[in-house]
Amino acid sequence: MDRKITIERGFEDGKLQLSDKNETNAISGDQITWIIKAGSGVASITQIHEKPGSVDVFIGEPARQSDGSYMGTLKDVDVVTEEKYLIKWTTSGTGWLGKDGAGQHKTFDPVIRVNPKGTK
């Protein structure tokens, strides 16, 4: 299943408001796609990867797509597995930043919970 997560808003402290309330619940093998909402204050995602010390639940590292979104596929797991991962992003210079704030580098660490196939 393809699960879409919309980045709805970026904040000055680096936090993001995600459409899944910053906690994704998914199933082994799901494809996760992160999409930036226009006017969110987020210009781009520069990288998505596991947080050091966390379990890596992705097959490889999520990759940038031609439309600017990021996509990753979840590994198969036998038990419920939770990962804190990092979204590295840059500011767009809209909203709270204004034009002078464009291009700042920020990092946010949401959670993804992966359930084995056959569970809800």
CA distance 59 to 11: 29
Number of C-beta neighbours around residue 83 at 10 A? 19
CA distance 41 to 6: 13
Q: Break the chain into its structural domains and give their ranges.
A: 2-115
pLDDT confidence of residue 118:
82
Do 97 and 40 touch, CB atoms closer than 8 A?
Answer: no
* CATH classification for the domain delimited by 2-115, as one of 2.60.40.420, 3.40.50.2000, 3.50.50.60, 3.90.480.10: 2.60.40.420
CA distance 31 to 104: 29
pLDDT confidence of residue 4:
97
Amino acid at 5: I
pLDDT confidence of residue 42:
93
Task: Identify the residue whose tokens are 């998914």.
Answer: 26
Q: Rounded to two decimals, what is the model's pTM?
A: 0.91
User: How large a percentage of the chain has pLDDT more than 90?
Assistant: 77
**Per-residue model confidence as pLDDT tens for the chain (120 residues):** 899 999 999 988 999 999 999 999 999 999 999 999 998 999 999 999 999 998 899 999 999 999 999 999 999 999 999 999 999 999 987 665 566 678 889 999 999 999 999 876
CA distance 120 to 114: 10
- Strand pairing class (105-108; 111-115): unpaired
